[in-house]
Amino acid sequence: MLIFYAQFLPNNNLCSISLSLTNQAAISMNSQTIVRTRFAPSPTGDLHLGGARTALFSWAFARHHQGKFVLRIEDTDRERSTPEAVQIILDGMKWLGLEADEGPFYQSQRIDRHQEVIQQMLKDGTAYYCYSTPEEVEAMRERARAQGLKPRYDGTWRPEPGKTLPPIPQDRSPVVRFKSPQSGATTWNDLVKGPISIPNEELDDLIIARSDGTPTYNFCVVVDDWDMNITHVIRGDDHVNNTARQITLLEALGADIPTYGHVPMILGPDGEKLSKRHGAVSILEYEQEGFLPEAMINYLARLGWSHGDAELFSREEFIQWFNTRNLSRSPAQWDPKKLRWVNAHYIKNSSNQRLAELVAPRIQARGGNPEQVDLPAVMELLKSRAETLNDLADGALLFCQENRPALSAEQAEQLNSPEATLLLQDFYERAAALEEWSTEQLSATIQQVLKAHNARMPQLGIPLRIAVTGQRQTPAIDAVLHLLGRERVLTRLAHSLKA
Ligand code: GLU
């Protein structure tokens, strides 16, 4: 067995692992047990919010206990698994900063090992060949249903002491079934849900290899969790039913049983299961929409877990505080407004330089040239009101275009009124004569114009904004004029005044 562990463990861990191996009962955390968690996504689509949160909890649990976090790609369903979906998972985890200590391991590359264990189980008598056809099994289920029983395989090929099995059909490839315990119950103390007990009679003799020899899903999970020495399995509660099956298999293999924790699903704001109709459900869509990874981590952490009433916390605090006791038993509710609020907080607290780097490509994607302006200064101007990086890019665009956007008829009319023309002309002359093009000087110039004409701020502010930016509303106009730069401001004003 140790050979298999060695495959997954750095050398310095072998000593303590072999200690825990000699002690099969060492499943609780003690000084000799290294916590090992895993995220085991099936690469059949996007990395969804629910999956990302499962990954986050598993990662945080490992980090909190100075353990190891393993990434295992469960790609044995060859028809539904795609390389693109694998890449999406890797990209999503990288973006969130959930680096795996080991892996990615690909389940599909471990089929030989799965088949080896199946052969061993056949030898040990914990699994058997079953020659019943799918039609026959369906008929067994029908019969059970008709008798008001749970539909199940009737055990035709299950070997028992003293039982004579039917003659083996010549032209049929058998499946392999697990000889599941028929009495008693499978019980575990779930980290989230508390004690769970499932009567063994409810568990069918699970098919562990199909008639073409390929191992089945639950079986692969079991062998991989065993070989990778996983101590704690944190996953969605849609897997609760699999857990009983997996535990019976692990017991039959003589393996340590991991501690399981099943987190409730995420609901949409309307209380229905979170789905596309509630908005983006894929992690990378949130990156595209301009959310920061630390905001996403903070928000996802609070979905179904809490630490007093702390809403905003760093990655380090989360690792320090994370425990499974504070995982909620009831489903969490997705709240897009709160996510935006969390993101706004992290934007406000990010350095202007970092924001500029993140926003520059978004400006380019909008047809702007981020080189045209002191972008960190623009970030400083905009970041207190932005909820996403896209908000910042939208706001920054006006500084990143050589020419002012074309005006609507209404804007042109406001600009060309005699009063506006008079005020703008005066402003133009005074601004052109400024020695220093600074926010303070521009602000003073605006005040001088207002005073000279006994006008109020909107009388100059609105036409000035329209003339220079093509928008009625902008952040503080003196700062906008400063950042746009003398040349662009004066050219645009001159152009407007001529028109
Ligand atoms: N591959 C499974 C899934 O993506 C998860 C298996 C597990 O966590 O045990 O749903």
Q: What is the pLDDT of residue 280?
A: 84
Which residues, 6+ apart, have CB-to-CB distance to 364 below 8 Å?
370
pLDDT at 301 over 70: yes
DSSP-derived 3-state class of residue 229: coil
* pLDDT at res. 262: 98
> Of the candidates 93, 39, 43, 41, which has an alpha carbon nearest to the alpha carbon of residue 62?
39
pLDDT at position 267 is: 95
d(CA 497, CA 489): 12
- pLDDT score, position 9: 40
What gap in Å lies between CA 119 and CA 236, rounded to an integer? 31
For residue 470, the CA-to-ligand 1 centroid distance in Å is 52
Atom of ligand 1 nearest to the CA of 246: 9
Dist. CA 333–CA 95, nearest whole Å: 23
pLDDT at 150: 87
Q: Give the residue with greater pLDDT, 31 vs 442.
A: 442
Rg value, the chain, Cα:
32
Residue 12 has pLDDT above 90, yes or no: no
Q: To the nearest whole number, what is the mean pLDDT of the chain? A: 92
For the chain, the distance separating the N- and C-terminal CA atoms, rounded to the nearest angstrom, is 84
The pick from 36, 37, 38, 42 for probing ligand 1's pocket by mutation, whose C-beta has the most ligand atoms within 8 angstroms, reads 42
* Cβ neighbours for 240, distance < 8 A, ≥ 6 positions apart: 190, 193, 196, 262
Q: How far is the CA of 144 from the centre of ligand 1 (A)?
A: 30
Tell me how far apart the alpha carbons of residues 304 and 52 are, in angstroms, rounded to a whole number: 13
> Measured between alpha carbons, how far is 255 from 143 in angstroms, rounded to an integer?
36
Atom of ligand 1 nearest to the CA of 225: 9
77-123: per-residue pLDDT in tens?
Answer: 888 999 999 999 999 999 999 999 999 999 999 999 999 999 999 99
* pLDDT of 424: 97
Which of the four pLDDT bands, split at 50, 70 and 90, describes residue 230? very high
Q: pLDDT-based confidence at 26, cuts 50/70/90?
A: very low
Catalytic residues: 276
How many residues does this entry show for the chain? 499
Ligand 1 atom with minimal separation from the 41 CA? 4
Q: Using CA atoms, how far apart are residues 417 and 159, in angstroms rounded to an integer?
A: 97
CA trace torsion 41, 45, 51, 55 (10° rounding): 50
Compute the half-sphere exposure of residue 490: CA atoms within 13 Å on the CB side of its CA: 12
C-alpha 432 – ligand 1 centre gap (Å): 66
pLDDT for 19 equals 32
Q: Give residue 187 CA to ligand 1 midpoint distance, Å.
A: 20
**Nearest Cα to 400, choosing from 431, 360, 432?**
360
- pTM for the predicted model, two decimal places: 0.89
Q: 312-337, pLDDT tens digit by residue?
A: 999 999 999 999 999 999 999 999 99
Residue located nearest, by CA, to atom 6 of ligand 1: 40
Q: CB-based burial of residue 345 (10 Å sphere; 0-12 exposed, 13-18 middle, 19+ buried)?
A: middle
Q: Which ligand 1 atom minimizes the distance to the CA of 39?
A: 8
Other residues' Cβ atoms within 10 Å of the Cβ of residue 11 = 7
Cβ–Cβ < 8 Å for 269, 72: no
Give the integer Cα–Cα distance in Å for 362 and 8. Answer: 41
Q: Which residues line ligand 1 (CB under 6 A)?
A: 40-42, 74, 221, 235, 239
DSSP H or E segment with residue 157: none
DSSP run (H or E) holding 328: none
Q: Across the beta sheet with 175-178, what order do the strands follow?
A: 127-130, 175-178, 207-209
5 has pLDDT over 80: no
| 324 C-alpha to ligand 1 centroid (Å) | 19
List pLDDT tens digits, range 149-183: 889 899 999 999 999 999 999 999 999 999 999 99
Residue pair 421/497 in contact by the 8 Å Cβ criterion = yes
pLDDT band at 33; cut points 50, 70, 90 = confident
Type of residue numbered 112: D
Coil vs helix vs strand at 217: helix
Distance of CA 3 to the CA centre of its chain: 34
* Ligand 1 pocket, mutate which of 74, 110, 190 (most atoms under 8 A from CB): 74
